[in-house]
Amino acid sequence: MDSRLEAFEKGHEAFQKIKFKQGQERYKKLVEEGQNPKALFIGCSDSRVMPAMITGSKAGDLFIVRNIGNFVAPYNPTANYHATASAIEYAVSVLEVSDVIVCGHSHCGAIASLFKDIKQTPENIHTIKWLELGKEAKKVASLAYKHDNKEIMLRYTEKISVVYQLDNLLTYPAVKRRVEEGTLFLHGWHYFIENGTIEYYDDETYEFKALVHK
Ligand SMILES: [Zn+2]
């Protein structure tokens, strides 16, 4: 055992002995038949946001891509390494998921950093560039909430950013075509770390509403 990772190794041991045994039939079937996930989940890399846990998903249910700030870069067919874009294309065109969820969350470090003056260095150059994908949300939130408490403004920025990322998703031809055909549905969510609840974006009222009514 590597003592640095002892907690993870113990956790894996417990997984093998209990959870894996319980789901063995399902895993076997997923190997034989391949994956057929219902949804693509685009979430933040934040360690406090666990897509499978907060949605009660099992192996095979969600195709997941996580990045800093749960951003979606607009379609940009250039020769480069576009990780999130390729995950979107694969999920939509190959796996043919029927739903895409962009899930933001409270106390998002990426969103908070939009309001900080961070100096670019060779050690953060990719991060600084990536955070540009939140600048529209920041602009709108700064105007709408300039007289409010900073936390209120940050929650709003996290939510409005999700809406901008949904717009960016529609710049992908594979996404746009399917949404227009009615075979693909886009969802914007915001997860509150502090109380474990999710709100969804209602595009008819332009509001975030509780996903589950207690
Ligand atoms: Zn985050």
pLDDT along the chain (214 residues), means of 10: 88 96 95 97 98 97 98 94 96 98 98 96 97 97 86 96 98 98 98 98 96 86
What pLDDT, on the 0 to 100 scale, is given for residue 1?
65
Residue 164 tokens read as 């901008």
- Tell me if the pTM is above 0.85: yes
Q: Which residues of 99-127 are buried (b: 16+ CB within 10 A; e: fewer)?
A: ebbbbbbbbbebbebbeeeeeeeeeeeee
Provide the β-strand partners of residue 104: 190
Any idea what DSSP says for residue 62? Answer: E
Q: How far is the CA of 113 from the centre of ligand 1 (A)?
A: 10
Q: How far is the CA of 2 from the centre of ligand 1 (A)?
A: 30
Q: How far is the CA of 110 from the centre of ligand 1 (A)?
A: 5
146, 101, 126, 132 alpha-carbon torsion, rounded to 10°:
-30
CA dist., res. 120 & res. 189, Å (int): 31
Q: How far is the CA of 32 from the centre of ligand 1 (A)?
A: 35
What pLDDT, on the 0 to 100 scale, is given for residue 79?
84
Residue 199 tokens read as 């709100």
Is 167 strand, coil or helix?
helix
Residue 154 tokens read as 């940050």
What pLDDT, on the 0 to 100 scale, is given for residue 3?
83
What pLDDT, on the 0 to 100 scale, is given for residue 147?
75
Phi-psi map region of 60: left, alpha, beta (phi>0 left; psi -120 to 50 alpha): left
